[in-house]
Amino acid sequence: MTDLDPSSVETSDAGEYRVLARKYRPKDFSGLIGQEALVRTLTNAIDSGRLAHAFVLTGVRGIGKTTTARIIARALNCIGPDGTGGATISPCGVCVNCRAIAEDRHVDVLEMDAASRTGVDDIREIIEGVAYRPTSARFKIYIIDEVHMLSKNAFNALLKTLEEPPEHVKFIFATTEIRRVPVTVLSRCQRFDLRRVEMETLIAHFASIADQENAEIEPAALGLIARAADGSVRDGLSLLDQAFAHCAGTVSEGQVRDMLGLADRAVTFDLLAAVLQGDPAKALEILDGQYKAGAEPAVVLEDMLDLSHWLTRIKVVPAAAERGTVSETERTRGREMAAGLGLATLARAWQMLLKGIQETRQAPSPLQAAEMILIRLAHASTLPSPEEALKMLDGGQPLPSSSGAGAPVPSPSPSNPVAGSSLPSGGSPSGAPQAALVVIAGDPDPQPQAESQLTLPNPQTFDDVVALAETEKEAILHADLINNLHLVSFAPGRIEFRPGDHAPADLANKMKRFLDEKTGGRWAVTISQQAPGAATLRQQKDEAEAHLRAKVSGHPLVKAVLETFPGAEITAVRKAKETGQDLSIDPDSDE
């Protein structure tokens, strides 16, 4: 549905100019473009007589929501040229109801802007009017635009009427923010999501309008306008109207670019190529020329961002370059640039440009900010990728310095053990190489470090860790290790445990910091989500004491004491060597 039928759009009186967005507003469903699903559903509903009592139309601005609501009102109230017709998908446009609705003067079709009338009193007027039958139309129709702007009380007042309206009333809601409409309202409506109109459809639509206006416009210029419209028919028509007024004679691509404040696409290719080739001087020269020509620095970066996305897309999906809306410049140069660039380079450029646009808009001098972004991009293009850097480190090759020249990478040696690449003990779990580049000022003496490390403790068991916490006066950590930790596994340098119910949330971090600091090594402390772990040290001690008391209570002497003193309990068991007495009781014996 891209061809315009002059009878399906609003016309203007002789001598009166109307903007294109109003002049070519559709009067019936045949004039709607890009909304085939909506038209098909309404056609079937009207033909079968299965009409909902409430509709909600949602979509971006300028997509045709209010226009669609008015067309629905005409379709439901059309009586045909002879006055005997019924609801139809193709309103005649000549009956009294069609003409009155088209001129916004029908008493039974009421429009309300919820953005300016948001209160419950406005809704009460509608509720009171619902009780009365239409004056001349078949249905009394209420069109509420920007319905999401209604207050909470207004929505609540409307709910009952919306759920059970009289058979002669229809509600049509339009909104750009469907999520702000209460679910209780949406559940009572038939919802239609109006889609963004595709670029190809918009271009064909605008070309048809240009023919009717006897205006000449280049296909590339139509593509720029359609892209700037971003799926909105009204926005595109407003830009097209501006282009006709801005340009005398044929509307060219360059004139539309000037009107929209866009940089020439070929210049954008040159600019992006300069920074990705590491030529900041040329990039700054191109930017300066664009700035003098009137282009905003942020818009230039936006064009580069759009181009980097385009290059990435045709690199991933080469068939995208064959679309009819793609200009020859974009198709030819895009393929050449995409073939010579890697995905990592394009992704890095996208991220840096995306962040740079924000910086440019916030900077006191947008031009200076844009220049710094281009210099940063040019410098980043000379740096190796992480994979290349690892290969160079492994092979002992020099890495590029900030000035672009190679700088030798120190290799590990007994006198410089931290230079080059190193891995923690155990290496990478996956076996992948890891590297760290360390810049050292002066010539450090490793010997004192080695001597100091000899004096640091090296726990070999979990009990050693607990003892270390006690020795270092870490009372809280010591208590948590005893009472709130279920040990799953232990090895020097690695602890896995399950926290108890009363363990602090950061117990693992506390243990790691403590052990790293006190032992001089790197400990891995992890929490197990599945293994239950052993009993806590406190539980183990309590169980051992309970077992010992049970065993001692069976000794004949202890039994005699308990029988002699009813109510007596064994509160503690100490070995004889601890008291210096011989009670002839050996708690360690199983006898």
Residue ending a domain, choose from 361, 381, 401: 381
Name residue, tokens 């580069």: 304
Confidence band, pLDDT 50/70/90 cuts, at residue 115: confident
**Is residue 475 situated within a structural domain?**
yes
Residue of 274 and 457 predicted with greater confidence: 274
Residue 288 clears pLDDT 70, i.e. is over it: yes
Query: Is 24 a domain residue?
Result: no
- pLDDT on residue 423: 34
> Residues 111, 87: one domain?
yes
Cα gap 585→575, rounded to integer Å: 8
Tell whether 73 and 143 lie within a shared domain: yes
* Cβ atoms of residues 399 and 409 within 8 Å: yes
Question: How far is the CA of 91 from the CAs of 75, 174, 267, in angstroms?
Answer: 5, 21, 50
pLDDT of the residue at 405: 37
Cα-Cα-Cα-Cα torsion 343, 348, 350, 356, nearest 10 degrees, comes to -170
CATH value at residue 67: 3.40.50.300
Question: What's the confidence (pLDDT) of residue 262?
Answer: 66
| 521 located within any domain | yes
Q: Look at residue 154 and tell me if it is in a domain.
A: yes
pLDDT beyond 70 at 328:
no
What secondary structure letter does DSSP report for 221?
H
Whether residues 188 and 282 fall in one domain: no
Whether 542 and 526 map to the same domain: the answer is: no
Q: What is the DSSP annotation of 302-359?
A: HHHHHHHHHHHHHHH-GGGGG-TTS-HHHHHHHHHHHHHS-HHHHHHHHHHHHHHHHH
40 plus 175 within the same structural domain? yes
Which of 328, 348, 381 corresponds to the end of one domain?
381
Mark whether 153 and 47 lie in a shared domain.
yes
Q: Please tell me whether residues 547 and 500 are part of one structural domain.
A: no
Last residue of a domain, one of 343, 365, 381: 381
Token digits of residue 256: 């539309």
CA-to-CA separations, 315 to 309, 334, 346, in angstroms, rounded: 10, 9, 10
Check whether residue 468 and residue 555 sit in a common domain: no
CATH number (domain holding residue 515): 3.30.300
Is 241 part of a structural domain of the chain?
Answer: no
Long-range CB contact pairs, 420-425, < 8 A, 24+: 420/393, 421/393, 421/394, 424/522, 425/493, 425/521, 425/522
Q: What is the pLDDT of residues 414-450, one digit of tens each?
A: 333 333 333 333 443 344 333 333 333 333 444 444 4
Is position 12 within any domain? no
Query: How far is it, in rounded angstroms, from Cα 83 to Cα 95?
Result: 7
In this prediction the pTM is: 0.55
Find the domain containing 78 and state its range.
Answer: 35-193
More confident residue, 16 or 382: 382
Relative to beta strand 140-145, strand 109-113 is: parallel
Report how many domains make up the chain: 4
User: Do 558 and 504 reside in the same domain of the chain?
Assistant: no
| Amino acid identity, position 4 | L
Q: To 5 degrees, how large is the angle CA 96–CA 97–CA 103?
A: 90
Q: What is the pLDDT of residue 395?
A: 63
User: What gap in Å lies between CA 89 and CA 87, rounded to an integer?
Assistant: 7
pLDDT of residue 544: 87
Looking up residue 352, the CATH number of its domain turns out to be 1.20.272.10
Is it the case that residue 235 has pLDDT exceeding 60?
A: yes
In a domain, 244, yes or no: no
In terms of domains, do 560 and 530 share one? no
| Closest to 299 (Cα-Cα) out of 351, 341, 333, 263 | 263
306-345 core/surface letters (b: 16 or more CB in 10 A; e: else): ebbebbbebbeeeeebeeebbbeebeebbeebbeebeeeb
Instruction: Kindly state whether residues 83 and 101 are assigned to the same domain.
Output: yes
Q: pLDDT at residue 143 above 80? A: yes
Residue 507 pLDDT > 60:
yes
| Residue 503 included in any domain | yes
**43/175 same-domain check:** yes
